[in-house]
Structure 1
Amino acid sequence: MFKLNFSKILPDFSLRKEKTDQFIHTWKNQNKAVYADFKRGIGKVAEGDFTTLYNMYAMMKDCVPPEAQSFYDWFLTLFTQNPSQLQRMMSGNVQWAGEHTEKIAQCIVNRQLGLGINLKTGKVDIYKSCQKGLLMVKSGTPVEIWNRLPQNMRTHFIEQLDKLAQNSNGCMLLSKLERKQLYHSLSFFADIFILSHAVFLPKFLANLYDRIINQGDTLAYCMYYFVVFDHGLVLMMEILNAILTKEEVDESGLTLVHNCIHILVHHSMEMGTDTKASWENAVEDCHPEIWKDVMLALHKAKGKRGKKKSIRTLDEILIGDVAILKKRTCQFLDENTDGICLAYLLCALIRARKIEASIPYMTFHRAIEQFTGQHTGHDIPQKRYGELKMFTLNSSPYGDSYKRAKRIIDKWTQIFIEVG
């Protein structure tokens, strides 16, 4: 099994994500009606209207490379052929994963080897140890793969396979050893499935990038904002709870719900979009099965440590006539080009009551960077802003730099006050 951790694969992932967060925030503020329609579509899922979900699945399906589709066809055929045809399909002449078939086969045979995948170039090679900057995926034995599965999934699979191994009278057609071999064989095919998917990832991501960046697919923007900023994963849990409360769900459906809940909690905690406290509050009045799953997942989850970055745009933090305030901000930046003046700009806006005094400096700094499209060092202006909050410039005498700061702040405070 492999875990796609972009923060380890891409050295500049944090900077990329921060820029993306700012871009999505800006887009959402400019397209509130589009996002509102998306939210309404998500809300209708609990009522049985899956249109929005179908659109999301269709977008992802369109990004699947052709060789992956060929692999799906081959994989499906494995379970519909007689033994002689199956042996031919598993022969070395069949390229079930295109040009990477042989490398995948080597990793399956020798579990000490691993595939190293460059997500930027799409190059795939075999390595004996982990390589920095590559997506690494290793094959385990069928037993190891089986043991990694959650207990509820293993129990469900065993029960379903046992039903298939029984005759009409309920008598087992296979011995206990034969059934165990069957379980391990299925896990082996799951290994092929996972390794093959890993080599398809670069082209899938390239297609997804083209769809989002070059074609500007608004559905993808809505999905990003929904998950990262609008507590979308918690909302999806609430939708599952509504379905479980209103409808009769069979054993298979319940197993699917269990797995979905664990995935939702795990990823929200890993991304830092929600906290243990927010999950506990959200699940307080939910169906007992949902409550149990969430609490179990929270027990296993590790939350993001440290203070989460606050990503907001100027449009979101300015108070009053935002358009004119942004024009005045541009004038300020043209007139005061050194980075330290950002501290004076924030002070002036706060004094003019055009920004809440509780806004952290770095939230303002990121908003300015997104607004101007320029990266500015934050250490000096952040330090100066902290000093200005501690001192009263009207009282004790200060050096020339503080006299300049007072002059700039006083001038621009008045300018911002005059804006409605």
Structure 2
Amino acid sequence: MILYLDLFSGISGDMTLGALIDLGVPLEWLEQKLKPVLSGFSLQSEIVFKHHLRAVNLVVAVEDTTAARTYLDIRDLIGRADLPEPVKKNSLAAFERIARAESTIHGKEIETVHFHEIGGIDSLVDIIGSFLGVDYLGIKTIVSSKVPLGSGFVDCVHGRIPVPVPATLAILAGIEVTGSDATTEIVTPTGAAIVATLAGSFGPMPKMQISRIGYGAGKRETNSSLPNLLRMVLGEAVPPADKDYESDVLFKNESCLHQEKVFVVKTNVDDMNPEILGFVMERLFENKALDVSFTPIQMKKNRPGNQIEVICHGKDLETLSRLILTQTTAIGLRYHECERVVLERAVVTRETLWGEVLVKRIKGPDRVRYVPEYEVCKKIALEQDLPLRDVYSRIMAEVNPLDRA
């Protein structure tokens, strides 16, 4: 499934949840999934009309008004929660985006950042609930329109600040934004974190066969000519019309194959200490690189060098480009957009000789196979004083019984 976020009037947490409920996520199911993680709230929804357009207005009724939580508090809460792995991963990524923005703005270490408005139960419900809704609907690809921003001023715990608020701008760094005629905040830090985490690209609606449309209502009076709504369009991706494009022929009938647009970034270096390359790779992966590789090359004046190649989503292009230019001796780089095809995969647990372990489930055109995670095998090998290759082979054999036949 593919989802298009039409942000003609911005985005907030409650607008996102409202639109997802309008698309078919059951309110009772959502509350049931969130209750073991959070307490002191209930979910209520109602149908409203804005400019005669029907929408769902989602309200998080909060009993616990405690709002000040640290980033570490929230990270620990999500880490301990019994949530699907993609939901947990996206929730942690969203709050890390917010924490990094706040730490930069206030000049504090990320671990000491206190969330005020964003640390409340309602914001936690909005963020975790949104990712639960996406997981429930089986959405694999998300594209968003450009992000419109309002103007004016809002009052918060720090006093009166301009719109867009600093946290929202920091979270949206590297993402294309545009102005609007709204005279108040229409993209909240929560909404910015949700769209920055979910959307793989930003621009016009992709080719798709529409199945459902959902509207989530905002609560502010924006003084805009447009209704304060978030529109979500859900459907199936449509292959490009160009029949000479080989992926149309090869992949259109393979439900396990996921097509998406990515960017490939490259640069060549011949004057850099090779010991630094390992550190650069770690930093690139920490900042959402999809893949990183180093290729030995021969450069001008017959100098041996390395080509650094990074694959990433469009929203992470600027961050990763800055990192390459900061952490290496490169004085420039090149990039291009391309399409890639990846197999459907997820992290699951499987029972083995050493108890339950995390493995990667990969669904291919011919079968489903399971591959153990490196860190899991490494931990077992060190604890049991066993060769890593033996641990890896044993787990592979146990979780893929058909391969033993």
Under TM normalisation by the shorter chain, which class is it?
Answer: under 0.3
Q: Computing the radius of gyration over CA atoms, which structure comes out larger, 1 or 2? A: 1
Which structure is richer in relative contact order (CA contacts within 8 A, separation 6 or more)? Answer: 2
More strand by share: 2
When the two structures are superposed, what TM-score results if normalisation uses the length of structure 1?
Answer: 0.25
Name the structure with the higher helix share. 1
